[in-house]
């Protein structure tokens, strides 16, 4: 081989593969183009958008079925298993392991479902499937029991902010500005918003753009990403509302499941 330079995507190289690669190409300079590959995937083709829309439609269908049957579940793990089973029945893969977090467990954004009795109060369900290799991502928070007025107010505030954040998305807007918009609107609750506002969705569940505080990304046509503000009160409860959104001259919400507070 005469070339002295090779480009590789280190995100898709195992450590063993990389060691073998270095051994075989000792005098070759290797440049990591992982970020370049991610940037290429920021905007989606018509075919990719079609697959993502279908993926979101399946995620909606399954999540709605889980909510309808929620009274039959005794544990978080049972609810999570139902989501997985329904996906498998349709020949679909999961985008990620489902999150079902009830009561105080909801205060941990990445809680793993426990084989313990579902707790009264808010219950966060974060779920997505893969259709033809393309992911969807949706979160809905339901309430087990009867919420008090303060709980209703916090939920409705977050819902209003989530809807508003989607409505102000426009071409070339800095993703960091969308994050700032949510933080400012949360007011006294901003300290309980402990993660990014969203992330790109495609063949991987986390792609560009990043909707975070220091993100340099901007909104472009044919991008698909999540909008998922949340508030997490340590040891008490958590609420997250998430949709997968397509931007095509305007924001188009691809996940359609109702966001009104559902009591079970």
What residues contact 68, with CB distance under 8 A and at least 6 apart?
A: none
What single-letter DSSP state applies at residue 261? Answer: P
Question: Looking at residue 132, what is its pLDDT?
Answer: 98
Residue 6 pLDDT level (bands cut at 50, 70, 90)? confident
Q: Identify which has the larger pLDDT, 27 or 260.
A: 260
| Contact yes or no for 98/126 (Cβ under 8 A) | yes
Q: How many CA atoms lie within 13 A of 71 on its CB side?
A: 5
pLDDT at 187: 97
Tell me the whole-structure pTM to 2 decimals: 0.93
Token pair for 210: 């990043």
Cβ-based burial of 77 (10 A; exposed 0-12, middle 13-18, buried ≥19): middle
Nearest Cα to 123, choosing from 104, 149, 150, 110? 104
pLDDT band at 38 (very low <50, low <70, confident <90, very high): confident
The residue with greater pLDDT, 70 or 40, is: 70
Of all residues in the chain, the percent with pLDDT exceeding 70 is 98
Structure token digits, residue 207: 């792609």
Q: What are phi and psi of 96, to 5 degrees?
A: -170, 170
* Residue 31 pLDDT level (bands cut at 50, 70, 90): confident
**8-30: b (≥16 Cβ within 10 Å) or e:** beeeebeeeeeeeeeeeeeeeee
In tens, the pLDDT along 197-229 reads 999 999 999 999 999 999 999 999 999 999 999
What pLDDT does residue 2 have?
63
Please report where in the chains the tokens 């999570």 appear, as a residue: 80
* Residue 1 predicted with pLDDT over 60: no
Q: How far apart (Å, rounded) are the C-alpha atoms in residues 115 and 230?
A: 24
The SS3 call for residue 205 is coil
Q: Please, what is the average pLDDT of the chain? A: 94
First CA to last CA across the chain, in angstroms? 66
pLDDT greater than 70 at residue 3: no
Q: pLDDT tens across 56-99, in order?
A: 999 999 999 999 999 999 999 999 999 999 999 999 999 999 99
Statement: residue 33 has pLDDT above 80: no
| Averaged pLDDT for residues 116-145 | 98
pLDDT, position 32: 78
Euclidean distance between CA atoms 103 and 30, whole angstroms: 49
Place of tokens 């044919």: 222
User: What pLDDT was estimated at residue 246?
Assistant: 98
CA atoms of 32 and 51, how far apart (whole Å): 29
């Amino acid at each position: 081989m005469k070339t002295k330079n090779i480009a590789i995507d280190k995100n898709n190289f195992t450590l063993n593969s990389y060691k073998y690669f270095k051994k075989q190409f000792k005098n070759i300079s290797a440049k990591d183009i992982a970020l370049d590959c991610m940037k290429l995937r920021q905007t989606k083709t018509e075919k990719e958008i079609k697959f993502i829309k279908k993926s979101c439609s399946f995620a909606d269908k399954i999540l709605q079925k889980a909510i309808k049957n929620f009274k039959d579940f005794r544990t978080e793990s049972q609810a999570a298993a139902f989501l997985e089973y329904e996906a498998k029945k349709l020949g679909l893969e999961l985008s990620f392991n489902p999150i079902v977090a009830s009561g105080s467990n909801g205060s941990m954004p990445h809680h793993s479902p426990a084989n313990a009795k579902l707790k009264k109060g808010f219950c966060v369900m974060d779920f997505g499937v893969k259709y033809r290799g393309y992911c969807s991502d949706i979160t809905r928070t339901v309430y087990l029991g009867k919420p008090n007025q303060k709980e209703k107010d916090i939920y409705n505030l977050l819902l209003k902010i989530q809807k508003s954040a989607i409505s102000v998305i426009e071409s070339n807007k800095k993703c960091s500005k969308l994050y700032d918009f949510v933080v400012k609107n949360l007011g006294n609750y901003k300290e309980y918003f402990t993660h990014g506002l969203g992330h790109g969705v495609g063949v991987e569940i986390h792609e560009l753009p990043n909707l975070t505080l220091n993100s340099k990304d901007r909104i472009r046509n044919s991008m698909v990403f999540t909008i998922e503000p949340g508030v997490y009160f340590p040891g008490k409860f958590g609420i997250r509302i998430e949709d997968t959104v397509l931007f095509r001259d305007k924001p188009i919400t691809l996940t359609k499941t109702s966001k009104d507070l559902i009591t079970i």
